[in-house]
């Protein structure tokens, strides 16, 4: 057994599901592996990794490149490889070690944050950083250096990763941490899966005494009120805003500022119930339009009748409101959705955000998942990490090539003009010129690329299958 470089022998915690015997591991079924936006849709061979020794063995005879993938919760093509080989890691989902005193948890990289929460919450621990869905893998969280509602206090997920192993296609295995192979540590956090395969990682969890969040929702009108609320809430751990991007005139940039802290009043740390609702079918493309989304937004804004409401809320609806309905991306129909997320640094954050919101409202393209947040200034440990101090806005649009692509392209260009950048995990459109302007450090990063690995995103923004980066196998 290869486990693990520099780590104790894995403890088979009771929590772990039984693993299939080697002989029972069936060869891998047909694709399809989709990203969350379901655009673009590419064929690829799908192989499952079961333990860290499977890579590089799994790519023997593979000539069109390979890419490790997790839950496919990235929206665009950062987790896709057209006609290549995808190495799905969700079959590597065991917990390896947990220290109940320090909160240090070591697990295989295909474990999901949902599985970690099921283990950790009843033991009085929570994720240090979580995105808006818990159905992402540990490996995926590291590879995109994800951020959450506590970015202004806690920085990115990578800030809480103490070490991981990196396996390269030449069979080399490296223990990476801030002190061991620190250059590979830095390149792999937000490395978009291109520097090697992460078989396991260790993170530091944070203690909690309750599942509950002390929540406040505050209505705001306009960017200035949003900015005031963000600075008043600097001491609150979690802040995020929903903004009505369909509103114009005096309602322009109205929204709800949501803030919360883990409750300090002890209460039972029960397991979360499993979600029961599944979005039943693909909606027809016309179902989401300016009228339906506009009506939803008005209802959502007025659902909160008062200017300010306070409540004690379970962490599930606070962090993961969308996870209550599985496969909700079907709402966008078979053509899928485009996400667009920028960060614009403080220097131009306000004017850039107003200009972009104005452009969206003017376009008539509807987005009802519009999330606005002020990032903090904690440095991200990843060479290619997306967050930086400023305002971030995430929007999504149903795919209507003639309209949404043109709007996206305009917004991406505006982002560049305001000195911002887009988030690869949420992207399917940025051009190679834009990417290289957003991430001028890409050439340094490319030196750490594993020559056997690539993605459709990388090919789109850099070009050439397996063409750029890394030293030979
Ligand atoms: C509803 C929703 C809300 C979201 N909210 C947020 C948010 O608030 N903040 C945020 O930052 N993101 C957010 N995201 C995006 C999501 O968190 C990231 O895209 C995340 O990386 C997805 O993880 P995954 O397991 O699905 O990985 P995938 O999407 O399958 O892969 C993502 C990347 O990780 C790499 N990778 C995966 N496993 C490994 C491994 N073992 N070794 C090496 N590389 C690997 C892949 O190559 C790929 O480049 C959200 C997504 C959804 C659908």
CATH for 224: 3.40.462.10
pLDDT band for position 473 (cuts 50, 70, 90): very low
- Residue 9 Cα, ligand 1 centroid: separation in angstroms? 28
- State the average pLDDT over residues 400-425: 94
Weakest-pLDDT range from 188-197, 306-315, 396-405: 396-405
pLDDT in tens, 111-170: 999 999 999 999 999 999 999 999 999 999 999 999 999 999 999 999 999 999 999 999
**276 within a domain of the structure (yes/no):** yes
- Residue 113 Cα, ligand 1 centroid: separation in angstroms? 11
Candidate from 143, 319, 384 with most ligand 1 atoms within 8 A of CB, to mutate: 143
Candidate from 140, 161, 332, 428 with most ligand 1 atoms within 8 A of CB, to mutate: 140
Helix (H, G, I), strand (E, B) or coil at 63: coil
- Return the CATH number at 141: 3.30.465.10
Higher-confidence residue of 456 and 327: namely 456
Please answer whether residues 427 and 339 qualify as being in contact, where contact means their C-beta atoms are separated by less than 8 angstroms. yes
The number of the ligand 1 atom at minimal distance from the alpha carbon of 371 is 8
- Residue 73 Cα, ligand 1 centroid: separation in angstroms? 5
Residues β-bridged to residue 262? 213
| Beta strands in 85-185, from DSSP E residues, in sequence order | 85-88, 95-98, 104-108, 125-126, 161-167, 173-176
The number of the ligand 1 atom at minimal distance from the alpha carbon of 192 is 49
Is residue 27's pLDDT more than 70? no
Q: How far is CA 240 from the centre of its chain?
A: 15
Residues 194 and 217 in one domain: no
- State the average pLDDT over residues 366-386: 92
**173 within a domain of the structure (yes/no):** yes
Nearest residue to 220 (alpha-carbon basis) of 254, 193, 175, 243? 254
Residues 284 and 297 in one domain: yes
Higher-confidence residue of 193 and 20: namely 193
Q: What pLDDT was estimated at residue 405?
A: 92
Candidate from 74, 151, 199 with most ligand 1 atoms within 8 A of CB, to mutate: 74
**Which residue lies with its CA nearest to atom 6 of ligand 1?**
131
**Which residue lies with its CA nearest to atom 49 of ligand 1?**
192
pLDDT averaged over every residue in the chain: 89
Residues 194 and 216 in one domain: no
Weakest-pLDDT range from 19-23, 69-73, 80-84, 140-144: 19-23
Residues 185 and 319 in one domain: no
Q: How far is CA 363 from the centre of its chain?
A: 27
Ligand 1 pocket by C-beta < 6 Å: which residues?
Answer: 36, 67-74, 78-79, 89, 109, 131-133, 136-137, 139-141, 143-144, 146-148, 192-193, 197-198, 322, 425, 455
pLDDT band for position 291 (cuts 50, 70, 90): low
Is residue 403's pLDDT more than 90? no
Candidate from 425, 445, 458, 462 with most ligand 1 atoms within 8 A of CB, to mutate: 425
**11 within a domain of the structure (yes/no):** no
Nearest residue to 100 (alpha-carbon basis) of 175, 174, 13, 24? 13
Residues 262 and 161 in one domain: no
- Residue 311 Cα, ligand 1 centroid: separation in angstroms? 31
**15 within a domain of the structure (yes/no):** no
Q: Six-digit token pair at 433?
A: 């010129």
Nearest residue to 100 (alpha-carbon basis) of 82, 127, 75, 120? 120
- Residue 305 Cα, ligand 1 centroid: separation in angstroms? 35
Structural domains in the chain (count): 2
- Residue 161 Cα, ligand 1 centroid: separation in angstroms? 15
**Which residue lies with its CA nearest to atom 21 of ligand 1?**
140
Please answer whether residues 81 and 42 qualify as being in contact, where contact means their C-beta atoms are separated by less than 8 angstroms. yes
Residues 191 and 263 in one domain: no
pLDDT in tens, 5-18: 544 344 444 455 54
Q: What pLDDT was estimated at residue 322?
A: 86
Residues 159 and 228 in one domain: no
Is residue 21's pLDDT more than 90? no
Q: What pLDDT was estimated at residue 11?
A: 43
**267 within a domain of the structure (yes/no):** yes
- Residue 190 Cα, ligand 1 centroid: separation in angstroms? 10
**223 within a domain of the structure (yes/no):** yes
**470 within a domain of the structure (yes/no):** no
Residues 200 and 250 in one domain: no
Residues 31 and 52 in one domain: yes
Q: What pLDDT was estimated at residue 333?
A: 82
**293 within a domain of the structure (yes/no):** yes
Is residue 95's pLDDT more than 90? yes
- State the average pLDDT over residues 59-65: 89
Residues 150 and 274 in one domain: no
- Residue 264 Cα, ligand 1 centroid: separation in angstroms? 30
- State the average pLDDT over residues 51-71: 91
Alpha-carbon distances, residue 101 vs 6, 105, 204, 470 (angstroms): 21, 11, 11, 40
**Residue range of the domain that includes 131:** 22-207+448-461
Helices (H) and strands (E) in the chain, counts: 13, 20
Residues 272 and 165 in one domain: no
Residues 277 and 422 in one domain: yes
Task: Tell me the torsion sign for CA atoms 456, 462, 467, 469.
Answer: negative
């Amino acid at each position: 057994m290869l486990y693990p470089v520099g780590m104790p022998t894995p403890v088979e915690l009771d929590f772990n599901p039984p693993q299939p015997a080697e002989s029972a591991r069936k060869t891998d079924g047909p694709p399809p592996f989709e990203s969350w936006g379901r655009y673009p849709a590419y064929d690829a061979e799908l192989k499952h990794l079961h333990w860290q020794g499977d890579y590089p063995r799994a790519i023997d005879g593979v000539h069109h490149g390979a890419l490790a993938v997790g839950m496919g919760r990235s929206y665009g093509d950062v987790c896709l490889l057209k006609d290549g080989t995808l190495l799905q890691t969700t079959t590597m989902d065991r917990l390896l070690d947990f220290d109940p005193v320090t909160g240090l948890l070591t697990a295989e990289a295909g474990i999901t944050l949902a599985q970690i929460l099921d283990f950790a919450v009843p033991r009085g621990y929570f994720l240090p950083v979580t995105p808006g869905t818990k159905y992402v893998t540990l490996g995926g969280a590291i590879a995109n250096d994800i951020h959450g509602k506590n970015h202004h206090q806690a920085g990115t997920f990578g800030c809480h990763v103490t070490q991981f192993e990196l396996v390269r296609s030449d069979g080399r295995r490296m223990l990476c941490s801030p002190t061991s192979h620190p250059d590979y540590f830095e390149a792999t956090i937000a490395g978009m899966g291109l520097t090697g395969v992460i078989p396991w990682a260790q993170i530091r969890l944070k203690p909690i005494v309750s599942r509950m969040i002390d929540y406040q929702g505050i209505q705001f009108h306009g960017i200035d009120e949003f900015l005031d609320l963000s600075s008043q809430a600097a001491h609150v751990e979690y802040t995020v805003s929903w903004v009505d991007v369909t509103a114009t005139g005096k309602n322009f940039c109205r929204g709800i500022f949501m803030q919360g802290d883990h409750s300090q009043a002890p209460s039972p740390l029960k397991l979360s119930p499993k979600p029961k609702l599944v979005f039943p079918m693909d909606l027809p493309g016309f179902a989401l339009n300016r009228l339906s989304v506009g009506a939803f937004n008005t209802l959502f804004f007025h659902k909160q009748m008062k200017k300010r409401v306070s409540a004690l809320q379970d962490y599930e609806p606070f962090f993961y409101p969308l996870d209550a309905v599985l496969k909700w991306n079907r709402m966008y129909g078979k053509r899928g959705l485009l996400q667009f997320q920028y960060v614009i640094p403080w220097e131009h954050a306000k004017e850039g955000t107003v200009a972009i919101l104005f452009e969206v409202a003017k376009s008539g393209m509807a987005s009802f998942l519009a999330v606005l947040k002020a990032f903090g200034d904690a440095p991200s440990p990843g060479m290619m990490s997306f967050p930086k101090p400023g305002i971030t806005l995430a929007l999504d649009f149903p795919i209507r090539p003639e309209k949404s692509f043109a709007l996206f392209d305009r917004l991406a260009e505006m982002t560049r003009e305001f000195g911002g950048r887009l988030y690869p995990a949420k992207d399917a459109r940025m051009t190679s010129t834009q990417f290289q302007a957003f991430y001028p450090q890409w050439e340094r990063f490319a030196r750490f690329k594993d020559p056997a690995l690539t993605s459709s995103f990388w090919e789109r923004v850099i070009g050439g299958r397996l063409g750029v980066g890394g030293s030979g196998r």
